[in-house]
Amino acid sequence: MKEVFNSESMQTLIEKGIDLGIEAGKSIIIAVVTYFVGKTLISLVNRMLSGMMERRNVDPAIQSFAKSLANMLLMILLAISVVSALGVNTTSFAALLASGGVAVGMALSGNLQNLAGGIVILLFRPFRVGDYIEAQGTGGTVGEIQIFHTILTTPDNKKIHLPNGALSSGNITNYSKEPLRRVDFTVAVEYGEDIDKVRKALREILDRDERVLQEPTPVIVLGALADSSVNITVRVWVKSENYWNVFFETNETIYNEFNRQGINFPYPQLTIHQG
């Protein structure tokens, strides 16, 4: 009798194991299908949302923020759907999350601050996508404003992710906000040079450059009598997008023109008097 009982018990356990394996296999297959179908639907919804906002000419900053937020919410829904397909009671799952709410809240406090910072940035618009800014000790062109981070591209093509929380509460220098910028030059010449000649040469250089605005009026003044040079201060206004081109090209033009006119640049000098 004992051998029959053991044989029957073993057979029953095997049958139950097979049934459980089949059910688990079905759940896993359904979960996998749910995941891939969900990912496809999320991609479709993201493309539709992107197309709709582009057709309505929504601000690029709001576009990147909305797409990032929508993608996060859809991924959370997908995760819940996959867990449900695996046979896990979502009500119990939610209760488990609620019981650990304090710990989760503390762990996500930084991200919640960044989310709030992103909303503040979108509301008050200290910068927009495409602006060149300096903040948190770094500078670059704003590429995206996501829900937690703002992405900058540096002039040497590096990507920098700045937390929105710190960005929204810190100092921001926006070089693209105003349509005009002032370009400052310091032109050093030797002692003994004719200042009127130097000023005239500089004025001619500025007048030939159509990018240099005549209003506000360009300023050419003697800025300082330095140890080895007379420093001429030149201040002109240009459109913001022309700033760097005017800065570099005008420096080169000044160098070539001064050499042509025989205006000498200084070298460090030290005069020694013997008693």
Q: What pLDDT does residue 217 have?
A: 94
Instruction: Report whether pLDDT(252) > 80.
Output: yes
The predicted pLDDT at position 162 comes to: 94
Return the SS3 of 203.
helix
251, 185 contact by CB (below 8 A): yes
**Angle at which helices 195-208 and 243-261 cross, to 10°:** 140
Q: What is the mean pLDDT of the chain?
A: 83
Tell me what percent of the residues of the chain surpass a pLDDT of 70.
79
Nearest to 79 by CA among 24, 39, 47: 39
d(CA 51, CA 54): 5
List of long-range contacts for 24-32, beta carbons under 8 Å, 24+ apart: 27/85, 27/86, 27/87, 28/86, 30/85, 31/82, 31/85, 31/86
**pLDDT tens, position by position, 126-158:** 999 999 999 999 999 999 888 889 999 999 999
Band of pLDDT at residue 77, cut at 50, 70 and 90: confident
Torsions phi, psi for 91 (to 5 deg): -65, -45
What is the predicted pLDDT for the residue at 10? 64
pLDDT band (50, 70, 90) for residue 55: confident
* Tens of pLDDT, residues 203-234: 999 999 999 999 999 999 999 999 889 999 99
Residue with tokens 């029953």: 12
- Nearest C-alpha neighbor of 263 from the set 185, 175, 212, 196: 196
Note the maximum CA span of the chain. 129
Q: What is the mean pLDDT of residues 76-91?
A: 71
Complete domains list, the chain, with CATH: 2-99 (1.10.287), 115-174 (2.30.30.60), 180-261 (3.30.70.100)
Dump the DSSP string for 142-199: EEEE-SSEEEEE-TTS-EEEEEHHHHHHS-EEESSSSSEEEEEEEEEE-TT--HHHHH
* 132 or 61: which leads in pLDDT: 132
Interaxial angle between packed helices 60-85 and 90-99, expressed in degrees from 0 to 180 and rounded to the nearest 10: 120
Say how far apart CA 239 and CA 175 lie, in whole Å.
11
What pLDDT does 36 receive?
82
Q: Which of the four pLDDT bands, split at 50, 70 and 90, describes residue 249?
A: very high
Residue-level pLDDT at 12: 67
pLDDT of 69 reads: 76
Q: What is the pLDDT of residue 255?
A: 96
Q: Tell me what pLDDT residue 1 has.
A: 46
